[in-house]
């Protein structure tokens, strides 16, 4: 890269994880979104030098963000070899999906008890946004919104430990899907999510749990080896970050 990169500007983007907070919050959010959208391939080396150049921050900031992601199980920190995006084995994938099922069951039961009308309305809007993303061909945004739907549902359950656990599981699940999904790339969570909201709104715990388990079965049924949707090129994955910093005035030029 020959460009002289400027410091990263913290500009919130609609529908994305929060870009506010410290610099490591911003870097963390960008990488988390890239994993949730399956733009980062499992096993990708996360070079501190490359990420520091991309985001215009110090290696210390990058290390903080990577440490947070490692705590969530989506990044592996290797002594003397740097960080990589986690690449779950088949057995690890099975364990993660088993844990995800247990957590989703508990979250669904609690959401039936505690979800407010406002939270249900937010969930319905997320489903509509997800559907619109897939309809316009923005698969990455659709996948991310599908994951964020489950995080928002966890908030409705009003159980802080489950929210934290679910955040880790949702991002790990996204890695597993990027690594192992096979067959068509069709996404049918739109109807499944809407039906789930209807059951929660009706306070029908048995139906809601049954729908959630069916939803998890559907995701599980499509898994096999496949990495074609993600990339190991950090500059390509975060090109949108670089583009926001390559807008010099008419009298200026990229250096």
Whole-prediction pTM = 0.74
Strand order in the sheet with 82-85: 45-46, 82-85, 75-78
Q: What is the pLDDT along the chain (255 residues), one digit of tens a residue?
A: 333 333 343 333 334 555 557 898 999 999 988 888 888 888 999 999 999 999 999 999 999 999 999 998 999 999 989 999 999 998 899 999 999 999 999 999 999 999 999 999 999 999 999 999 999 999 888 888 999 999 999 999 999 999 999 999 998 998 888 888 775 555 657 789 999 999 999 999 999 999 999 999 988 888 873 444 455 677 777 777 777 766 655 555 444
Q: How many residues does this entry show for the chain?
A: 255
List, in sequence order, the alpha helices (H) in 115-233: 117-135, 139-157, 160-180, 189-201, 205-221
């Amino acid at each position: 890269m020959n460009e002289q990169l400027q410091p990263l500007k913290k500009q919130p983007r609609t529908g994305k994880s929060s870009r506010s907070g410290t610099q490591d919050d911003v870097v963390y959010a960008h990488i988390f979104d890239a994993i949730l959208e399956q733009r980062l391939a499992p096993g990708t080396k996360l070079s501190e030098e490359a990420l520091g150049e991309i985001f215009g921050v110090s290696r210390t900031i990058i290390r903080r963000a990577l440490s947070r992601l490692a705590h969530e199980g989506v990044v592996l920190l290797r002594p003397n070899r740097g960080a990589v995006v986690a690449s779950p084995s088949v057995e690890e994938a099975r364990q993660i999906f088993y844990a995800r099922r247990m957590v989703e069951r508990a979250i669904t039961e609690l959401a039936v008890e505690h979800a407010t009308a406002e939270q249900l309305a937010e969930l319905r809007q997320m489903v509509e946004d997800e559907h619109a993303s897939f309809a316009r061909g923005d698969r990455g945004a659709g996948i991310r919104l599908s994951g964020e739907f489950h995080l928002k549902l966890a908030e409705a359950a009003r159980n802080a430990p489950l929210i934290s656990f679910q955040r880790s599981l949702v991002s790990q699940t996204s890695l597993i899907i990027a690594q192992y999904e096979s067959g068509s790339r069709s996404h049918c969570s739109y109807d499944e999510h809407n039906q789930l909201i209807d059951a929660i709104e009706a306070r029908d715990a048995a139906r809601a749990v049954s729908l959630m388990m069916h939803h998890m079965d559907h995701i599980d049924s499509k898994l096999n080896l496949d990495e074609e949707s993600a990339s190991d090129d950090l500059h390509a994955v975060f090109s949108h970050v670089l583009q926001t910093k390559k807008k010099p005035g008419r009298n200026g030029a990229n250096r």
